[in-house]
Amino acid sequence: MTESAKAAQPVSGQRILVTGGAGTIGSTLVDQLVDAGAAEVVVLDNLVRGRRENIAAAAEKAGDRLTLVEGDINDLGVVRELTAGKDLVFHLAALRITQCAEQPRTALESLVDGTFTVIEQAVEAGVKKVVASSSASVYGLAEQFPTTERHHPYNNDTFYGAAKAFNEGMLRSFHAMKSLDYVALRYFNVYGPRMDAYGVYTEVLIRWMERIARGERPLIFGDGLQTMDFVHVHDIARANVLAAQAPVTDEVYNIATAQEISLAGLAEALLAAMDSDLTPEFGPARQVNGVTRRLADISAAARDLGWKPTIGMDEGLRGLVAWWQAETQGISA
Ligand SMILES: NC(=O)c1ccc[n+]([C@@H]2O[C@H](COP(=O)([O-])OP(=O)(O)OC[C@H]3O[C@@H](n4cnc5c(N)ncnc54)[C@H](O)[C@@H]3O)[C@@H](O)[C@H]2O)c1
C-alpha cells in the first residue's frame, strides 16, 4: 500500500481524541464525528474558552461514546493517557490571536509546547492520523491572490501566526522522523454558531449583532475596505472529517470559500440577515491587524479532500443570527 493510501482513515467505528473539542469548531466537529458513528470521542479541553453546553447535544446523542476531560494539552500525563489506544487525533486547542499578542508566554506554552505534547504523544501511541488546525495567519498579508498553500509565510508578524507555522513545521518533522500521518488545515475567517458571545475576545460579528439588536448602527473602524474570506464552521468541521478520510498525508490545505467580502460588505450582509434598515457607521481607523486582504485558493482541498464549502454568506449569517438570538435573548431559533 502506498503511503498516501495508508493515510486514508475512516471515522466510523474509530476511537478519537479531539483537543479543544468544547470550542466553536471543535464542538461542531464532535457533532459530526458522533453522527458519523465514531466508536469513542474524547474531548480534551481546559474550558478557557470552550463551554460544556457546546457539546451537550452531542453528549445526549452519543451517551457513553462521548467524554469530556477538563484538562490541558500541556499536561503530559493526561495527554499520554488520552492518546493511548486512539485511532485519530483532531488537534484544535489553541488561544485566539488577540490573546497571543497580549500574553505571548502563555501562547508559547499553549500553542507551541502544548501542540508538541499532543504530536509527541500521538506518535508514542501509534495514532493513525492527526488532523491539526492551522490558520491563514501563517501568510500575514499575502502578496498573491487568490493565495495558494505554496505562498511563503514571511509576511506574518503575529505570534499566533508564528506558532501556527511552527506547528505545521513540527508536524512535517514528525512525519519525516517518525512517519506520523497528518493533515493541517489553514482556516481563513471563521464564523457560525457557538462563536464566543461572552468572552473578552468577541468577534466583530457578535459586537455588531449586539449593536443592531439595540437599534444602533454597526460600527466600522476605518474605511471598511479590508477584505476577508469567510467560511462557515459547519464546512470547517466537515473539512476535518474529510482530511481524516482522504488518502493524503504530510499536506496543508486552505479552508475558505474563495469569496472576498469587505468589512463594510459584511456589515451590510449582517444588517440584511437581521432584517434591519440601518446602515453601517464609520469610526476612526484603529490598527488592529495589518492584514487588509484575504482571498484563498481552495482548489487543493477540492482536489485532494473532495471538500468544497456548501454554506453561502446569506444562509450562514441568518443561521448565526438565529443562534445568537436564541442564545442571548431566549428567542427560539
Ligand atoms: N476561529 C477562527 O477564526 C480561526 C481561524 C483560523 C484557525 N483557527 C484555529 O481553529 C482551532 C479552533 O478554533 P475555534 O475558533 O474553535 O476556537 P475556540 O477558542 O472556540 O476553541 C479552542 C478551544 O481550545 C480550548 N483550549 C485552549 N487552550 C487549551 C489548552 N491549553 N488545553 C486544552 N484546551 C485548550 C479552549 O477552551 C477552546 O474550547 C484553533 O486551533 C484555532 O487557532 C480558528
User: Class of the 11-190+232-256 domain?
Assistant: alpha beta
Question: Can you tell me which atom of ligand 1 is nearest the CA of 50?
Answer: 39
Q: Whose CA is nearest to atom 11 of ligand 1?
A: 92
With the most atoms of ligand 1 within 8 angstroms of its CB, the residue from 53, 91, 187 to mutate is 187
pLDDT at 80: 98
Q: Taking 50 as the threshold, does the pLDDT of residue 165 lie above it?
A: yes
| Ligand 1 center from residue 199 Cα (angstroms) | 13
**C-alpha 188 to ligand 1 mean position (Å):** 14
Residue 211 clears pLDDT 80, i.e. is over it: yes
Average pLDDT over every residue of 268-281? 97
Mean local confidence (pLDDT), 244-254: 98
- Ligand 1 centroid, distance to 20 Cα (angstroms): 6
Predicted confidence at residue 203, as pLDDT, reads 82
Mean pLDDT (whole number) for 85-95: 98
Q: What is the pLDDT of residues 131-160, one digit of tens each?
A: 999 999 999 999 999 999 999 999 999 999
Lowest-confidence region among 4-8, 86-90, 180-184, 250-254: 4-8
Q: Atom 28 (ligand 1): residue with closest C-alpha?
A: 94
Ranges of each domain in the chain: 11-190+232-256
Which of 2-11, 28-37, 105-114 shows the lowest per-residue confidence on average (mean pLDDT)? Answer: 2-11
- Mean residue pLDDT of the chain comes to 95
CA of 100 from ligand 1 middle (Å) equals 12
pLDDT over 60 (residue 332): no
Q: Hey, whose CA ends up nearest to atom 21 of ligand 1?
A: 23
Which residues are near ligand 1 (CB < 6 Å)?
A: 19-20, 22-26, 44-50, 72-74, 92-95, 110, 114, 133, 135, 187, 189-190
Ligand 1: residue of 24, 44, 72, 189 to mutate (most ligand atoms within 8 A of CB) is: 24
Per-residue three-class SS string for the chain = CCHHHHCCCCCCCCEEEEECCCCHHHHHHHHHHHHCCCCEEEEEECCCCCCHHHHHHHHHHHHHHEEEEECCCCCHHHHHHHHCCCCEEEECCCCCHHHHHHCHHHHHHHHHHHHHHHHHHHHHCCCCEEEEEEEHHHHCCCCCCCECCCCCCCCCCCHHHHHHHHHHHHHHHHHHHHCCCEEEEEECEEECCCCCCCCCCCCHHHHHHHHHHCCCCCEEECCCCCEECEEEHHHHHHHHHHHHHCCCCCEEEEECCCCCEEHHHHHHHHHHHCCCCCCCEEECCCCCCCCCCCCECCHHHHHHHCCCCCCCHHHHHHHHHHHHHHHHHCCCC
Q: Which residues are marked as active site?
A: 160
Give me the mean pLDDT over the 58-72 stretch.
Answer: 97
Q: What's the pLDDT at 285?
A: 85
Q: Which residue's alpha carbon is nearest to atom 8 within ligand 1? A: 135
The reported pLDDT for the residue numbered 5 is 82
- Ligand 1 centre and the CA of 247: distance in Å? 26
12 C-alpha to center of ligand 1: Å? 24
What pLDDT was estimated at residue 333?
Answer: 45
- Confidence band, pLDDT 50/70/90 cuts, at residue 289: low
Which of 19, 31, 49 for mutating ligand 1's site (highest number of atoms within 8 Å of CB)?
Answer: 49
Q: Which pLDDT does position 239 carry in this prediction?
A: 98
pLDDT grade for 287, boundaries at 50, 70 and 90: low
Q: What is the pLDDT of residue 288?
A: 59
Q: Which residue's CA is minimally distant from atom 4 of ligand 1? A: 190
Take atom 18 of ligand 1 and give the residue whose Cα is closest: 23
